[in-house]
Structure 1
Amino acid sequence: MTQGKLSLFSITPIASAILGLSLSFNALANTNQPDAMAGMTLPQDNKYDWLQLTSLEVLKGELKNLYDDKLEFDSDNLDTISIDWEDIKQLKTAQPVSIGFTDLSTKTGILVVKDGQAFLDGQAFDPKNIMTIISGEQKEANYWSNKITLGANFRSGNTDQIDYSAISHNTRRTTESRFNLDYLGNYTKTDNQSTTNNHRINSNFDWFISKQFYLRPIFAEVYIDPFLNLDYKATLGSGLGYNIIDTSKTEWSISGGPAYTYSKYKQVEQDQRQSDGSASFVLETSYETEINKTIDFNTKYRGQFASSDAGGYSHHAIASFEVELTDIFDLDLSFVWDHTNSPQANSQGLIPEQNDYQFIVGFGIDL
């Protein structure tokens, strides 16, 4: 009996030591592995840009740009992805980038972001002062982004009908300014008879005086719609704007200013003027939000207040859902509402409808 007790006491300390050592190793592994990832140093690489997310995931690839707190990164394995700026823990670029700061200054160099600090060619600064980043040197090709959405419908049989629609968004964005050029066109032909043929071009130039405020020295719009009895309607003005919401997921801005509107009509009644000009005021608001990783919702309203001879109050409103199919292609669903309060009667005295509605289904291509 004594010999059995001694054997038991001899084994117990050894088993306890082994159990304690195993628990210590497990605790060390569970504790130190995340710490090691959190404190890791990104590779020194002259070929790839590297970033680490706050989730401690590491990506290599090419930084494209940073606008509105969203970083576009071309991952070596995941293709082009969009990342919230607040989700980035570390960042290191292989080649120089152009940075626009909140004080509207611009600098170029190798960027490193780590532990809440940023360095540009070794010079430390607060990363909160970054407003925009453009990949590479300040070259013209790095400033442009373009998207084209095309839709078509063909019918044959009792009725032969062809529908075309096109939407184009073109933006030139630098660290201090923004230039937009948008186009929306629709054409329908039924039994060799044109029933829809309208085209709208919008353009504006913005100069940022802060992250929220911007001057709009010039904005312009040309609208052609013979079925609205418009040979063309041209508007030219200037104003200012303000970013109400500017986060990584949602943008909401409002802008406006005085303008001059000139309208030339296709047909007019006898003793009526073929054209008319008027002072006007233009108010515009734009809202964009990310519903989830693959669906965005965008809407824009542009209201114009002019004399009744120039059409009175009119507006152009568009709301779109953009569904990402691939990195390049989107499925775009757009609803368009055009309104003219006082349309001009034609030579027979017929007054066009005040409202035009369109629902456009198209495939978008990011260029």
Structure 2
Amino acid sequence: MQLQQFRWVHHTASAVLLAATSGFSMAVIATEPTPFDPTQVVLPADSQYDWLQLTSLELLKGEIKNLYDDKLEFESDNLDTLYIDWEDVKLLQSQGLVSIGFTDLSTQTGKLLVKDGKSYLDGVEFDRNDIMTIIAGAQQESNYWSSKISLGANFRSGNTEQVDYSAIANAKRRTTESRYLIDYLGNYSNVDDNNTIDNHRINTNFDWYISKQFYLRPVFAEIYLDKFKNIDYKATLGFGLGYDIIDTSKVTWSVSGGPAYTYTKYDKVSDGAVESEGSAAVVIESVYEWEITDDIDFDALYRVNYGSEDSGGYSHHAVAAFAIELTDMFDLDLSFVWDRISNPQDDAEGITPEKDDFQFIVGFGIDL
């Protein structure tokens, strides 16, 4: 009897111990946290922010600004304005409306979701590769414009009274299908009440994209003033075509050109010489942009005008510029400018202006 009681107690204790051990193991398993998988992020559906996840799995909240030339401008809530290569975007979700320009030149507005290699606009799936441009908000004028001004100045007094200034300004209007640009470059210098430099150049053009890389330029124009080259003003008006040879997130290179008409009014001429001259011309332009680093950009412009010899002949305007980001709003701009006229007109005293002018401009740029 005692042996049976002992066996019963032993089996009972073993069963209790086994149950307790199993329960503890199950409790440990049940309470062990599930590892975080950043590839399975579910973004808030109702939020005041747009959300962006990079291919590096970094997650940002903020506001979508635009997408041009495969570069997404995103204003992070904590990191300010960022420029992200489109190929580095893994997931993108807009809280509000965005306007999307597609490669077939159509435009649609809605809420955007890019996820797992697929894209949706208001829940309707489409091919991500069909996206050409993105503008935040509905299609309204205030969302289309951006501008920048770069100013440089030198003031001196005492034995020499001198004032120098230079200004570079541009404004751009970008929609999902078109682009309008206007640029200004001006220089002025006065030493002891004697004007030594005074030139101004304004360029403008309108482009209409008919594919992702090919565009029509229905109109382009330039006005140039430089009395030290004996030019009261020189006006050029034309139309043409353009093509983006390189269009990546880091480098863009486009060429354009077409026929034009050039009219030159000279500042001073000798007796019997013509005061103005007009002629047909051909204008060719090349624009190169390179993002060297996140903080340093390099831009180069070369524009050549082939006109008659009486209107100045061959002339060109070339600019090479570095923009070094100091803050989100301010840049240090270093620009080298080379202007050339192959056949300058003699002034009233028979003096022939130099063919070449060179400038090195240091200025502080403000993004508006």
Question: Please, what TM-score do these two structures have when normalized by structure 2?
Answer: 0.90
Contact 1:46/1:95 (<8 A) preserved: no
Secondary structure at the residue paired with 2:273? coil
CA distance in 1, matches of 2:158, 2:321: 32
- Structure 1 residue 111: deviation in Å? 0.1
- Structure 1 residue 169: deviation in Å? 1.1
CA distance in 1, matches of 2:247, 2:116: 24
The equivalent residue for 1:46 is 47
Q: How big is the alpha-carbon RMSD for the aligned residues of Structure 1 and Structure 2? A: 1.4
Secondary structure at the residue paired with 2:105? coil
Secondary structure at the residue paired with 1:227? helix
The equivalent residue for 2:310 is 309
Q: Which AA in structure 2 matches 1:247?
A: T
The equivalent residue for 1:277 is 278
Summarize deviations over 1:163-218 as a string: whole Å, max 9, x none. 11110111000011100000000000001111001000000000000011000000
- Structure 1 residue 46: deviation in Å? 3.2
The equivalent residue for 2:129 is 128
Write the mapping of 1:245-260 to structure 2, written as runs, cut at 5 A: 245-260=246-261
Secondary structure at the residue paired with 2:349? coil
The equivalent residue for 1:206 is 207
**Unaligned residue ranges in structure 1 (runs of 5+):** 1-20
Write the mapping of 1:104-253 to structure 2, written as runs, cut at 5 A: 104-253=105-254
CA distance in 2, matches of 1:266, 1:77: 55
Summarize deviations over 1:5-44 as a string: whole Å, max 9, x none. xxxxxxxxxxxxxxxx9xxx9xx99x954xx101111122
The equivalent residue for 1:337 is 338
Contact 1:42/1:51 (<8 A) preserved: no
- Structure 1 residue 154: deviation in Å? 1.2
Secondary structure at the residue paired with 1:343? coil
Q: Which AA in structure 2 matches 1:131?
A: M
Q: Which AA in structure 2 matches 1:276?
A: E
Q: Which AA in structure 2 matches 1:355?
A: D
The equivalent residue for 1:98 is 99
- Structure 1 residue 150: deviation in Å? 0.5
CA distance in 2, matches of 1:56, 1:207: 37
- Structure 1 residue 158: deviation in Å? 2.5
Is 1:83 aligned to 2:74, yes or no?
no
Q: Which AA in structure 2 matches 1:353?
A: E
CA distance in 1, matches of 2:340, 2:194: 24
CA distance in 1, matches of 2:175, 2:48: 25
CA distance in 2, matches of 1:46, 1:99: 21
The 4+ residue runs of structure 1 with deviation greater than 6 A are: none
**Unaligned residue ranges in structure 2 (runs of 5+):** 1-24
CA distance in 1, matches of 2:123, 2:354: 64
Summarize deviations over 1:295-318 as a string: whole Å, max 9, x none. 000000000000100000000000
Secondary structure at the residue paired with 1:271? coil
Secondary structure at the residue paired with 1:342? coil
Q: Which AA in structure 1 matches 2:98?
A: V
Q: Which AA in structure 2 matches 1:88?
A: V
Summarize deviations over 1:88-110 as a string: whole Å, max 9, x none. 10010000100000110000000
- Structure 1 residue 130: deviation in Å? 0.3
Q: Which AA in structure 1 matches 2:142?
A: A
Q: Which AA in structure 2 matches 1:235?
A: T
The equivalent residue for 1:73 is 74
Q: Which AA in structure 2 matches 1:328?
A: M
CA distance in 1, matches of 2:47, 2:207: 36
Secondary structure at the residue paired with 1:251? strand
- State the percentage of identical aligned residues: 65
Secondary structure at the residue paired with 2:169? strand
Secondary structure at the residue paired with 2:293? coil
Secondary structure at the residue paired with 1:86? helix
- Structure 1 residue 156: deviation in Å? 2.1
Contact 1:147/1:170 (<8 A) preserved: yes
CA distance in 2, matches of 1:159, 1:338: 28
CA distance in 2, matches of 1:77, 1:32: 27
Q: Which AA in structure 1 matches 2:219?
A: I
CA distance in 1, matches of 2:342, 2:43: 61
CA distance in 2, matches of 1:160, 1:45: 63
CA distance in 2, matches of 1:246, 1:41: 32
How many residues end up aligned between the 2 structures? Answer: 339
